[in-house]
Amino acid sequence: MAPTKKGILERLNAGEVVIGDGGFVFALEKRGYVKAGPWTPEAAVTHPEAVRQLHREFLRAGANVMQTFTFYASDDKLENRGQTLKYTGQQINEGACDLAREVANEGDALVAGGVCQTPSYLSCKSETEVKAIFKKQLDVFIKKNVDFMIAEYFEHVEEAEWAVQVLKTSGKPVAACLCIGPEGDMHGVSPGECAVRLVKAGAQIVGVNCHFDPMTCVQAVKLMKEGVEKAGLKAHYMVQPLAFHTPDCNCQGFIDLPEFPFALEPRILTRWDMHKYAREAYKVGIRFIGGCCGFEPYHIRAVAEELASERGFLPGASEKHGMWGAGLEMHTKPWVRARARRDYWENILPSSGRPKCPSLSTPEGWGLTKGHAELMQHKEATSTQEMKHVLELQKKGILERLDAGEIVIGDGGFVFALEKRGYVKAGPWTPEAAAEYPEAVRQLHREFLRAGANVMQTFTFYASDDKLENRGNQLTFTGAQINEAACDLARQVANEGDALVAGGVSQTPSYLSCKSETEVKAIFKKQLDVFIKKNVDFLIAEYFEHVEEAVWAVEMLKQTGKPVAATLCIGPEGDMHGVSPGECAVRLVRAGAQIVGVNCHFDPLTCVKAVKLMKEGVERAGLKAHYMVQPLAFHTPDCNCQGFIDLQEFPFGLEPRILTRWDMHKYAREAYNAGIRFIGGCCGFEPYHIRAVAEELAPERGFLPAASEKHGNWGAGLEMHTKPWVRARARRDYWENLKPASGRPLCPSMSSPDGWGVTRGHAELMQQKEATSKDQLKQLFDRRREIKDSALLWRLFAATRSLPYRK
Ligand SMILES: [Zn+2]
Ligand SMILES: [Zn+2]
């Protein structure tokens, strides 16, 4: 019977309408024969009666094409992620061909052998390897003598071209469909350009299938047609869309919808939507009109009914369906009988019956494509670790949170906090504790998380190789070891709550010592490589005194594609070269930072003021950014532009300057009012400071942090205190108006900064691997003119410096 039938090209050349079938994996999943996830078609062998039956239903609904149920029947897909099947790829492909042929011969239908995208391509296998995969299926199609070939469901036109090139070798007609919308393929190739490439590869029929609703797919095919015609080429056009409404999808289509794949029901098209679709497709010149996932036989019947006058006949299944619901004339209830008319169904806006459901949702949009680690396919089952990792990815990203206007609370400065706990040495301030004392670092992360932080910054401050080796610092761990350990710790704790991991880089000795841009960037690159390997959520370039170096850092961090935040340790006076905060911010945004601000060096209100100036600068330049602030927890009203480093109390006498929790309330409110939404801390911040920030912003965030179970708001816990006068302090106005004394009668309230005013390139700022020599130290002491007896100081210092250190 088959040889006497008109072939696919004959039909299309004659201007006939060819109706396709619907998507088998979705229909058979609902019927219990396909597993959602692998979506493989082993049912062609395990349950041939189910597959045969579905073919029959589509034939009866009016389909002219029986696509072999060989979707994802490539060997690499059948074995993907731990799936073990009792049948070989060849058995499944052969079984599928036999079933399609059997049913096609029962009516006026052709058999199309189908191939689709492969795990091998996503996993970056070579063209030769991917083509060999297609070839194995093609060998079966040739043996079983299918009528034509369809390469369908390709997200990347490049792979579809390879498929077409392989299918063409059979000498049979080739159709090619991408699962793309009007935005183009996953590499951004436009539909027009995709179509041209497919036609040039040898496809006689081009179009799209799956991933988008009918109107969106028709729109995409229209663009393909325009492209092909503009290129002076010729083709036939096909469309096999979803039977789900997807107006809220991005370029990845329905896979990104939160409802995919088990809650798509409210989106299913009605048969009346299908009438519209069929008409629209026909109008734009598409003549091969079918369906993909979600299509049930009644959807195809609706397409056939809409195009009945063009085709000259109704499908067999229409015997059980009056046109436009005419069968309802025989219904029991009169109000239902009143619905037996076209204008009723054509104008109905069907409700979902779900009072708490929105009409549109927000696609997840992970934005992954070929080559991304999470897209790599493998034979082994998904491990628990991989699953955990995928769940991590599902957390809202930093930009999603900020774009949505959420408050993101940062953590505090680790070097100062861990120095006090005995794990960091003041001076080098390097973070070897990440590898050396992981439990201490982990615990501090946990405390900040419990205090309300949404960001776990990797403890990688000064973890650049040049800094780790600076001035005689000798560590038993490599830079890579320290950076990796820091990432693991941050990730472990971030996963215990709603926190993201931010990989952090900071200014380098190399820059201060006037090394070249290339050399400084190479330093950042080494840390960055670890952050990528450990897949941090976003990146922070922080603690830069010179905007020039920060721009270099941002340029490097941007290359990862992850969101980038950048903070300078500057005040309202600007950076060490005198560049104003506004100008600094503009440069950082232009370099690619999405979040800009300041950290360290100044007290909270000074930092907020500096960020305000940044914001003004950015807005004046017509740019956009999010803003962050991570100040000191020390009061610094007496600082010059170098910040607290110049204070005579730095770093071992800063205690009287520590902010109270009530100061933190003021800070959090001030930062929020200034439009800053990423609000954290730096040196001096202890977990209770972050908790105070979280408590102040609890009304805006809608919740209190876990640590607040141990803290009554505005000191309310004091109500339970033993002493009555302390109980009397359990109120906001007491703490808000208190001016805390230092208890140091001989101490001034302000000091005068040292202010040597040296910056990049000054001899005293040159960094070195060797330990500071005695001569160098003596010179420094001599330079401190305000200390009268530097010789005495030097003797004291030299005497204690050589004492042994007891573990
Ligand atoms: Zn589909
Ligand atoms: Zn700091």
Ligand closest in space to the Cα of 631: 2
Q: Nearest ligand, CA of residue 504?
A: 2
Confidence of residue 728 (pLDDT cuts 50, 70, 90): confident
Question: Can you tell me the distance from the alpha carbon of 236 to that of 206, in angstroms, rounded to the nearest whole number?
Answer: 6
pLDDT at 682 over 70: yes
Q: How far is the CA of 123 from the centre of ligand 2 (A)?
A: 42
| Average pLDDT for 340-363 | 80
pLDDT value at position 380? 72
In a domain, 750, yes or no: no
* 193 has a pLDDT exceeding 60: yes
In a domain, 391, yes or no: no
Ligand nearest to the CA of 208: 1
> pLDDT tens digits for 642-664?
889 888 888 998 888 899 999 99
Average pLDDT over residues 574-587: 96
User: Is residue 158 assigned to a domain?
Assistant: yes
Digit-coded pLDDT (tens) for 227-257? 999 999 999 999 999 999 999 888 889 988 8
Residues 307 and 414 grouped into a single domain: no
Specify if 9 maps to a domain: no
Ligand nearest to the CA of 415: 2
How many angstroms separate the alpha carbon of residue 475 from the centre of ligand 2? Answer: 22
Check: CB of residue 201 under 8 Å from CB of residue 167: no
Q: What integer pLDDT is reported at residue 786 of this predicted model?
A: 46
**Average pLDDT of the chain, as a whole number:** 89
Between the CA of 217 and the centroid of ligand 1 the distance, in Å, is 12
pLDDT tens profile 746-794: 777 887 777 666 667 676 666 667 777 777 766 766 665 444 444 455 4
CB 749 within 8 A of CB 733: no
Q: What is the pLDDT of residues 10-63, one digit of tens each?
A: 999 999 999 999 999 999 998 888 888 888 999 999 999 999 999 999 999 999
User: For residue 131, what pLDDT is reported?
Assistant: 97
N-term to C-term CA, the chain:
91
Ligand positioned closest to the Cα atom of 67: 1
Does 785 lie in the same domain as 638?
Answer: no
150 with 263, same domain: the answer is yes
| Ligand nearest to C-alpha 601 | 2
Question: How many Å lie between the centroid of ligand 2 and the Cα of residue 570?
Answer: 11
- Compute, in angstroms, the gap from residue 542 CA to the centroid of ligand 2: 9
Annotated binding site for Zn(2+): 210, 292-293, 600, 682-683
Going from the Cα of 636 to the center of ligand 1, the distance in angstroms, rounded, reads: 62
The number of domains in the chain is: 4
Residues 447, 336 share a domain: no
What are the DSSP E strand ranges found in 327-429?
408-409
Q: Which ligand is nearest to the CA of 607?
A: 2
Q: What percent of the chain has pLDDT over 90?
A: 64
Tens digits of residue pLDDT in 126-169: 999 999 999 999 999 999 999 999 999 999 999 999 999 999 99
Q: Tokens 């093609």 map to which residue?
A: 138
* CA–CA distance, 780 with 606 (Å, rounded to integer): 30
Among the bound ligands, the one closest to the CA of 633? 2
Percent of the chain with pLDDT over 70: 90
Are both 634 and 566 inside the same structural domain? yes
Residues 332 and 457 grouped into a single domain? no
Q: Which band of pLDDT confidence, cut at 50, 70 and 90, is reported for residue 710?
A: confident
- Judgement on whether residues 526 and 472 belong to the same structural domain of the protein: yes
Q: In angstroms, what is the span from residue 625 Cα to ligand 2's centroid?
A: 23
CA–centroid distance, 293 to ligand 1, in Å, is 4
pLDDT at 725 over 90: no
If you measure from the C-alpha of residue 443 to the centroid of ligand 2, how many angstroms do you get, rounded to a whole number? 19
The Cα 458–Cα 531 span in angstroms is 9
Residues β-bridged to residue 209 = 240
Q: Do 72 and 209 have their domain in common? A: yes
In which element (H, E) is residue 630 found? strand 626-630
Tell me: do 560 and 647 sit in the same domain: yes
Range of lowest pLDDT (359-363, 398-402, 682-686, 732-736): 359-363
Taking the CA of 600 as reference, the closest ligand is 2
Residues 241 and 93 in one domain: yes
Say how far apart CA 638 and CA 650 lie, in whole Å. Answer: 13
DSSP 8-state class, residue 382: P
343 C-alpha to center of ligand 1: Å?
31
pLDDT band at residue 800 under the 50/70/90 scheme: low
pLDDT exceeds 90 at position 551: yes
Residue 671 Cα to ligand 2 midpoint, Å, equals: 18
Does 539 fall in a domain? yes
Distance CA 280, CA 159 (A): 29
Q: How crowded is residue 516: how many other Cβ atoms within 10 Å of its Cβ?
A: 10
- Segment 706-715 shows an average pLDDT of 86
What b-and-e string marks burial along 184-205, b requiring 16 or more CB atoms within 10 Å of the CB? Answer: bbbeebbbbbbbbbbbebbbbb
Confidence of residue 668 (pLDDT cuts 50, 70, 90): very high
User: What's the per-residue H, E or C state across 561-626?
Assistant: CCCEEEEECCECCECCCCCCHHHHHHHHHHHCCCEEEEECCCCHHHHHHHHHHHHHHHHHCCCCCE
Q: What is the pLDDT of residues 538-550, one digit of tens each?
A: 999 999 999 999 9
Helix (H, G, I), strand (E, B) or coil at 134: helix
Model confidence at 289, pLDDT cuts 50, 70, 90, reads: very high
Residue 174's φ and ψ, nearest 5 degrees, are -125, 125
Residue 598 C-alpha to ligand 2 middle, in angstroms? 10
Q: Rounded to the nearest whole angstrom, what is the distance from the C-alpha of residue 455 to the centroid of ligand 2?
A: 16
Which ligand number lies closest to the CA of residue 682?
2
Residue 340: per-residue pLDDT? 87
Per-residue pLDDT reduced to its tens digit, 79-108: 766 667 788 999 999 999 999 999 999 999
Q: How far is the CA of 209 from the centre of ligand 1 (A)?
A: 7
For 219-257, letters b (16+ CB in 10 Å) and e give bbbbbbbebbeeeeeebbbbbbbbbbbbebbebbbbbbb
pLDDT attached to residue 764: 65
Lowest-confidence segment of 158-167, 702-711, 716-725 by average pLDDT: 716-725
The answer, as to whether pTM is greater than 0.75, is no
What's the CATH code of the domain at 142?
3.20.20.330
How do 595-599 and 564-568 pair as beta strands?
parallel
> Residue 2 domain-assigned?
no
Q: Separation of 447 CA from ligand 1 center, angstroms?
A: 47
Cα 428 to ligand 2 centroid, rounded to whole Å = 13
What's the pLDDT band for 363 if we cut at 50, 70, 90? low
Q: pLDDT at residue 736 above 60?
A: yes
Are the C-beta atoms of 264 and 257 separated by less than 8 Å? yes
Within this chain, do residues 292 and 344 fall inside the same structural domain, yes or no?
no
User: Is the four-CA dihedral 337, 338, 341, 342 of positive or negative sign?
Assistant: negative
3-class state of residue 118 by DSSP: coil
Residue finishing a domain among 692, 707, 722: 707
Whether 762 maps to a domain, the answer reads no
Q: Which residues line the annotated binding site? A: 210, 292-293, 600, 682-683
In a domain, residue 6? The reply is no
CA of 700 to the centre of ligand 2 (A): 27
Helix (H, G, I), strand (E, B) or coil at 409: strand
Is the same domain home to 339 and 308? no
Domain span at residue 193 reads 15-316
Q: Measure 207 CA to ligand 1 centroid, in angstroms.
A: 14
